[in-house]
Chains A and B, each alone.
Chain A
Amino acid sequence: MSNWKNLTGPLSSNNPVIVQILGICSALAVTVKMEPALVMGLSVIVVTAFANLVMSLLRNGIPSRIRIIVQLVVIAALVILVDQFLKAFVYDVSKQLSVYVGLIITNCIIMGRVEAYALGNKPWDSFLDGVGNGLGYAAILLIVAFFRELFGSGTLFGYQVIPDSWYIANGGFYSNVGIMLFPPMALIIVGVIIWVHRSFNKDLQEK
């Protein structure tokens, strides 16, 4: 039962982005379109899960003075492995992500979860915690990307959803909202999500 909580907790009540406020920076960068957001979410799930697993297996032998360095090495190695495999087997996806794969290393969620959870818990629990937090992160990314792509480009996953005839250029009344494509809008959307989320989860509201 506690395992289940590790997996589902981060989806809502303990979401890494909107409750723990981790990983905001990359949430701004990769959410202009849904497709990179999805692949980024999947990659982060893999890396958080395995970083948590490896660090949890090593947790009793790590000298506490160099534990941050050890964490960095493990995370960086995992990210490079993911990058290499993407390049070899799904080259198209790896091109989609370009620089963002490398940026997974600096994603605060991964180190945050390793430091806060994996170093003090059993491997299987830690693995699930990693998967859960990755999922929570991916979910927020997709929500933000949904609004940004829909209103910014009029498409979803690259497919046009807003009819051509609506656009002013074709005699309609609608035009894409350019500011949606800029990073500040991602921050505003994340803010709105936090607002909505807290108004439903009263126990999270600061007194």
Chain B
Amino acid sequence: MAKFNVNSNAYIIIYSVVMVVIVAVLLAVTSLSLQERQGENILNEKKQQIVKALGEDPATAAYGDVVAEAAMLDKSGNKIEGKNDADIFNALGDLTASFDAGEFPIFKAKNGCVVVPVYGAGLWGPIWGYIALEPDMNTVKGIVMDHSGETPGLGAEITTSNVQSAFVGKTIFEGDELVSVTMRKGGATNNHEVDAISGGTKTCDGVNEMLKSGLTGYLPYFNANKSNK
């Protein structure tokens, strides 16, 4: 090391370039070699959440045993033909774009329930979830919610079963009007409300907005299938 001056400009530039290249190669190689495994994890998690929304335990019930069909709906609630499972799960990765494009993924369970994905904004970042409805397209069968950065102990409580189980049995329609289910500060007063989380008001507002706007996109489908009964 004594041969050259470690503080000369040329050395500094060469040092930085070599360092950056080495680090870039290292990170790129790691990222590429782990990509497949990470993708599988993410896909698996989506499937598990769908199963969980339907009230089954993902540890015992496999996705294929519970869900009969994954479909893509258009704006008026009709099935878009020619979409395979991969397309549908890809759409879940970017729901905003998918909803904007008029494509609404839906999962039909073997017992007649349906699961729809919803997406919104919490206090610190995105929140998303899956809501399962009974075959009457009105009663909530179950809900799974997740977030990327809500405050642990406050907004992040939306991921706990305490909060999520409160949604079960609530109804999303008042007569023919879609009222969704809201988290109400001060406690639930009717069958379209559940208790909000104290200290997590902003996150709860986000959940309300997410459910309302998400379910609205599926309204034509719900109406069509409700009247069939």
Contact = CB atoms under 8 A, between A and B. Distances in A.
A97 B224 CA distance: 42
Contacts of B45: 91
Interface string B73-114: 000000000000000000000000000000000000000000
Contacts of B1: 60-61
B149 A73 contact: no
Given A64-B7, A65-B7, A178-B199, A81 B12 contact: no
Given A32-B153, A181-B153, A84 B34 contact: yes
Contacts of A36: 152
Given A32-B151, A73-B23, A98-B148, A63 B6 contact: yes
If over half of B's interface residues share one DSSP class (helix, strand or loop), that class is named, otherwise mixed; here it is helix
Contacts of A70: 15, 19
B6 A61 contact: yes
Given A60-B1, A63-B6, A66-B16, A99 B199 contact: no
Contact of B41 (A30, A73, A91): A91
A24 B187 CA distance: 36
A127 B42 CA distance: 34
Interface in A74-110: 74, 77, 80-81, 84-85, 87-89, 91, 95, 98-99
Given A30-B152, A181-B153, A66 B12 contact: yes
B199 A181 contact: yes
B15 A61 contact: yes
B213 interface: no
B30 A99 contact: no
Nearest to A87: B38
Interface size class of A (residues with CB under 8 A): 20 to 34
Given A64-B7, A88-B38, A91-B45, A81 B30 contact: yes
Contacts of A152: 153
Interface residues of B, number: 31
Contacts of B34: 84-85, 87-88
Interface in B163-215: 198-199
- 8 closest residue pairs by CB, A with B: A32-B153, A88-B34, A91-B41, A88-B37, A32-B152, A181-B153, A63-B12, A99-B149
29 contacts: A30-B152, A32-B151, A32-B153, A33-B152, A33-B153, A61-B1, A63-B7, A64-B7, A66-B12, A66-B16, A69-B16, A70-B19, A77-B23, A81-B26, A81-B27, A81-B30, A84-B30, A85-B34, A87-B41, A88-B37, A88-B38, A91-B41, A91-B42, A99-B148, A148-B153, A149-B153, A152-B153, A181-B153, A181-B199
Given A63-B11, A65-B7, A84-B38, 7 more contacts: A32-B152, A60-B1, A63-B15, A70-B19, A80-B27, A85-B34, A91-B42
